[in-house]
Amino acid sequence: MSIESIDNIKFQTAIGLEVHMELLTETKMYCSCKNTFGERENAVICPVCAGYPGILPSMNKRAVELAVRAGLALNCKINRSFKMSRKNYFYPDLPKAYQISQFFAPICTNGFLEIKGKKYPISDIHLEEDAGKLYENGVDFNRSGIPLIELVTEPCFHSAAEAMVFLKELRLITMYLGVSDCRIEQGSMRCDVNVSVNRIGEPCGERCELKNVSGFSNVYDGILYEEIRQKTLISEGCRVLRETRRWDPEKKESVLLRSKENTADYRYFDDPDFPEIILTEEFVQDIFSKLPMLPNKKRSYYASLGVSIQAAEDIILDPQKDSIFCDCIRMDICGAKTLSGLINGIAAEFLNEAPNYLNEINKEGFCLALCKIGRLREKGAVSSTSAKLLFESHIKGGGDIDLLLKELKLEQISDSEYIEKLAERVLAENRKSVEDYRRGKTNALAFLVGQCMRLSDGKADPSLCKEAVLKRIVYENI
Ligand SMILES: [Zn+2]
């Protein structure tokens, strides 16, 4: 076969994801050790999770609940009876030499995640336990036995960007469900990425698996690298071999780990330590009835309240902001659109500086203050500058917003005589900007209005100032 240039060949890519998410349980999957992160090596282990011979694991009910929760939210069939399987392999971080997982009958099957009208099929979600971790002095078993769900998609993505949109939406849904905190930096969401490339019109190519990639940008870079590597091989007339590869984030390349094992290599069999687990209808229905509102539904609900698409997205992408928004809406003091502006503006600015400020005790007061400021804004009683000052003094010293407004004398000034005088003074002091405006530099107007606001300590009504400035410029011309 002759060597062709990649650019002259039309390829297509198929990408499938296997996403591991650590579950937000109190304890580990099969023992009562705490499910925690950041402890001293081997401080949180017992004979069960350290894999001593003769131990008997017992299933964490909460982990099952969370897996069902994820399955219901992702439109899966929940299998009312399921089994645990042993996945056999040898590695130093797995002292039992098998992982308790699911193979023959996973807990959730045949689901999908819909994004912007497109359904991405999910083959299954199964329960499994995490393995330990190698470190410079040996093996740390703290992570061993931490409950996970592994979500497996069909090879339904055709580009790195598409896979990325899916992962971000999945992460958001899982966080809203309370199933996982998906802390990528702590490894609580990790991905195996299967990539295969073929020429259009030819059968699907052999897939390569990038193992254990953490972080969205690494998944993205890894897929792009694999696409180019496989396209180059094909265009040079070589075969792509089925392999498991490791993504090196430093060198930004994938490295061969091993030729890909088949499922037969894992010698799966039903784990005799577990009976068949039966989920009652009542158990599943109870979880279903408690599902929270998910991002897609929130998007349309917030739009129906008059919030812009972008403002709604900014709120939904940050569960803390979203929770403030929901609490404020329930107070029913001012409109949702005004609230979205305040939450994405002054509240977000403050919480960026003090991310741990909000707690159950002060949240209600925080939300009430935002709502009252929103109502003042809607009535035109305060400018945006004064709204910010009111909010800041409430945070600093507490106090009711309506009282603070009077105390700090922050009411917006709409007095026409006062505003006329402001405009007159600003025009006299800024002749160059007036000329600029006349020559077509429209942003000079914003500067002049800004000067009125500055002279009034932010209290003048900006729309009245704008009107007065414009009127004067036209009048001077006559
Ligand atoms: Zn344990």
Q: Is the pLDDT of residue 2 over 50?
A: no
- pLDDT tens across 186-226, in order? 778 999 999 999 888 887 778 899 998 988 999 999 999 99
CA of 133 to the centre of ligand 1 (A): 15
- pLDDT tens across 292-305, in order? 999 999 999 999 99
Q: Is the pLDDT of residue 318 over 70?
A: yes
CA of 141 to the centre of ligand 1 (A): 9
CA of 142 to the centre of ligand 1 (A): 8
The CA distances from residue 298 to 101, 213, 240, in Å, are 34, 30, 44
Range of lowest pLDDT (21-25, 36-40, 456-460): 456-460
CA of 146 to the centre of ligand 1 (A): 9
- pLDDT tens across 90-112, in order? 889 999 999 999 998 899 999 99
- pLDDT tens across 75-85, in order? 999 999 999 99
pLDDT cut 70: percent of the chain above it = 97
Q: Is the pLDDT of residue 3 over 50?
A: no
CA of 179 to the centre of ligand 1 (A): 21
Q: Is the pLDDT of residue 21 over 80?
A: yes
Q: pLDDT band for position 1 (50/70/90)?
A: very low
CA of 212 to the centre of ligand 1 (A): 23
Measure the CA–CA gap between 372 and 415, rounded to whole angstroms. 23
Give me the pLDDT at residue 4, please: 52
CA of 83 to the centre of ligand 1 (A): 21
Q: pLDDT band for position 6 (50/70/90)?
A: low
The radius of gyration of the chain's CA atoms, rounded to the nearest angstrom, is: 30
The residues near 177 (Cβ < 8 Å, ≥ 6 apart) are: 66, 69, 70, 73, 291, 292, 294
Q: pLDDT band for position 477 (50/70/90)?
A: low
Q: Which domains does the chain have, with CATH numbers?
A: 6-285 (no CATH), 293-407 (no CATH), 416-477 (1.10.10.410)
- Please state, rounded to an integer, the average pLDDT across all residues of the chain: 91
CA of 57 to the centre of ligand 1 (A): 9
Give me the pLDDT at residue 221, please: 95
CA of 272 to the centre of ligand 1 (A): 20
CA of 49 to the centre of ligand 1 (A): 4
Give me the pLDDT at residue 423, please: 93
Question: Residues 19-35: what's their mean pLDDT?
Answer: 96
More confidently predicted of 279 and 463: 279
Question: Residues 31-53: what's their mean pLDDT?
Answer: 94
- pLDDT tens across 412-430, in order? 888 888 899 999 999 999 9
Helix/strand/coil (H/E/C) assignment for every residue in the chain: CCCCCHHHCCEEEEEEEEEEEECCCCECCCCCCECCCCCCCCCCCCCCCCCCCCCCCCCCHHHHHHHHHHHHHCCCEECCEECCEEEECCCCCCCCCEEEECCCCCCEEEEEEEECCEEEEEEEEEEEECCCEEECCEEECCCCCCEEEEEEECCCECCHHHHHHHHHHHHHHHHHHCCCCCCHHHCCEEEEEEEEEEECCCCCCCCEEEEEECCHHHHHHHHHHHHHHHHHHHHCCCCCCCEEEEEECCCCEEEEEEECCCHHHHCCEECCCCCCEECCHHHHHHHHHCCCCCHHHHHHHHHHCCCCHHHHHHHHCCHHHHHHHHHHHHHCCCCHHHHHHHHHHHHHHHHHHCCCCCCCCCHHHHHHHHHHHHHHHHCCCCCHHHHHHHHHHHHHHCCCHHHHHHHCCCCCECCHHHHHHHHHHHHHHCHHHHHHHHCCCCHHHHHHHHHHHHHCCCCECHHHHHHHHHHHHHHHHC
What residues does 108 pair with on adjacent strands? Answer: 78, 125
CA of 48 to the centre of ligand 1 (A): 5
CA of 26 to the centre of ligand 1 (A): 12
- Protein residues placing their CB within 5 Å of the ion ligand 1: 31, 33, 46, 48-49
More confidently predicted of 73 and 361: 73
